[in-house]
Amino acid sequence: MRYYYTADAIRDAEAPLLAALPDGGLMRRAAFGLATAIARELGTVTARSVCAVVGSGDNGGDALWAATFLRRRGARATAILLNPERAHQKALAAFLRSGGRVVESVPVATDVVIDGVVGISGSGPLRPAAAEVFDAVEHAGIPVVAVDLPSGVDVHTGAAEGPHVTPTLTVTFGGLKPVHALGDCGRVELIDIGLDLPPSDVMGLEPADVAALWPVPGPEDDKYTQGVTGVMAGSSAYPGAAVLCTGAAVAATSGMVRYAGSAGPQVLSQWPEVIATPGYATAGRVQSWVVGPGLGTDEAGAAALCFALEADVPVIVDADALTILSAHPDLVANRRAPTVLTPHAGEFARLAGSPPGDDRVADTRRLADRLGVTVLLKGNVTVVAEPGSGPVYLNVAGQSWAATAGSGDVLSGVIGALLAKGLAPGEAAAAAAFVHARAADLSALDPGPAAAPTSSSRILAHLRTALASIL
């Protein structure tokens, strides 16, 4: 599991080490890890050139010490001091003793720039002098390694409201911060500096976590104990939504999928194992309902949503059903069984009254609390929040291959299958988002290593391969 920590939590964890270690010991420990990461980035250190852009905080000290360590290994090292009077004096003295040089601008032959302008205590965009330096770096195409986080990017939200650093690599210490999931940090490398950090309530699943959660049939299982997923999706105008949603529930190892709706012939032509009926009244017993993709927002769609929400089983509400729910939020009031909403930004705005802002985690939490449901906010970073003091899951896709028509229908089917098996709603949504993103990646890379445009039907076709790579 990847845990994400607030700046205050990191500072609290650092305090015992700062008290126990010699003065500057923790900084040098972090800087040595930073220098090691930069050395890997360079490949060969001897005769390579690094330039540290140094602010007035501890991140500037980290950058100076890292440049010092690299200089001692044979690199050429320079530093730009944005505020010379407030630069970390011990780190600067060591840098100068090693043969490092203070310069006014980044040398032309520089191989890597170290961003040591601000750390987790900083806020707001880059100031003009720093912005000018990094604008020149970007135009020169020099890779940047950020210390702890890219300067100018908010540590809690990942938002950048003005000039900011866009690094190739971010090296952080002790624990990940929300910015490392929510912001543009390039690759992120975590250096262990000995902090004693408990699990946090903001986290991201890793493959082993998904494998531990995913239902795998045992010797005593049958088609009913593996979960019966009900799907109310599709219409005469959008039968494809029903095909994608039911197909995803089948691929996600549902023991049985029951489809209720007008697209039964199209569904059965693709998935003959599905049990299809023309309406929900004759669908039979299910252990979860997926309602909304391509359903329509007319009275028939509203009746289908009401029927599902009145049942004492988990329900995932998506697409057209979210539009209906935004006009009638009382439909989920005091509901005992789990409910999962999966809005994109526009649907979120209809539900919440405004679109998600810079702090997507806080906004998602607020909507989950207000409605008493689990909310999955779609995006390149998917945010899953439970009501109350429940955990928040962040799933970083790393690309946007899943941003294609019908992709959400596939995701809904997977979540529905996991809910039918009995997974907790937050875990079901987070695990489904993880597998969905991996399937999107695989579909874009099939049949070769070069990524190419994909589609929702291809994402669906790669669900089993994605699961196999995890399980």
Residue 38, annotated as binding a ligand: no
Residue 151, annotated as binding a ligand: yes
Report yes or no: 463 and 446 within 8 Å, Cβ to Cβ: no
CA 429 to chain centre: 13
Residue 178, annotated as binding a ligand: no
Nearest to 319 by CA among 290, 339, 299: 290
CA 302 to chain centre: 32
Residue 441, annotated as binding a ligand: no
CA distances from 404 to 101, 166, 450, 455, 462 (A): 50, 26, 19, 6, 15
Residue 115, annotated as binding a ligand: yes
- For 208, residues 6+ apart whose C-beta sits below 8 A from its C-beta are none
Report yes or no: 355 and 349 within 8 Å, Cβ to Cβ: yes
Beta strands in 351-397, from DSSP E residues, in sequence order: 374-377, 381-385, 392-396
Residue 221, annotated as binding a ligand: no
208, HSE (Cβ side, Cα atoms, 13 Å): 2
Residue 74, annotated as binding a ligand: no
* DSSP single-letter state for residue 232: E
Residue 61, annotated as binding a ligand: yes
Residue 207, annotated as binding a ligand: no
Q: How many residues does the chain have?
A: 471
Residue 363, annotated as binding a ligand: no
Residue 408, annotated as binding a ligand: yes
- For 330, residues 6+ apart whose C-beta sits below 8 A from its C-beta are none
Residue 148, annotated as binding a ligand: yes
Residue 156, annotated as binding a ligand: no
Q: How many CB atoms lie within 10 A of CB 135?
A: 12
Q: How far apart are CA 311 and CA 46, in angstroms?
A: 68
Residue 124, annotated as binding a ligand: yes
What are the CB-based long-range contacts (under 8 Å, 24+) for 384-387?
384/426, 384/429, 384/430, 384/433, 385/361, 385/426, 386/425, 386/426
Q: How far apart are CA 468 and CA 385, in angstroms?
A: 27
Residue 334, annotated as binding a ligand: no
Residue 201, annotated as binding a ligand: no
CA 100, 105, 109, 114: dihedral to nearest 10 degrees?
A: 60
Residue 83, annotated as binding a ligand: no
Residue 62, annotated as binding a ligand: yes
* CB neighbour burial string for 335-344, b if at least 16 within 10 angstroms, e if fewer: eebbbbbbbb
Residue 353, annotated as binding a ligand: no
Residue 56, annotated as binding a ligand: no
Q: State yes or no: cis peptide before 447, omega within 30 of 0.
A: yes
Nearest to 164 by CA among 149, 182, 177: 149
Nearest to 131 by CA among 91, 161, 157: 161
- For 275, residues 6+ apart whose C-beta sits below 8 A from its C-beta are 256, 257, 258, 259, 284
Residue 123, annotated as binding a ligand: yes
Known binding residues are 58-62, 115, 119-125, 148, 151, 241, 294, 344, 378-382, 408-409
Known binding residues for AMP are 378-382, 408
Known binding residues for (6S)-NADPHX are 58-62, 119-125, 148, 241, 294, 344, 409
Known binding residues for K(+) are 59, 115, 151
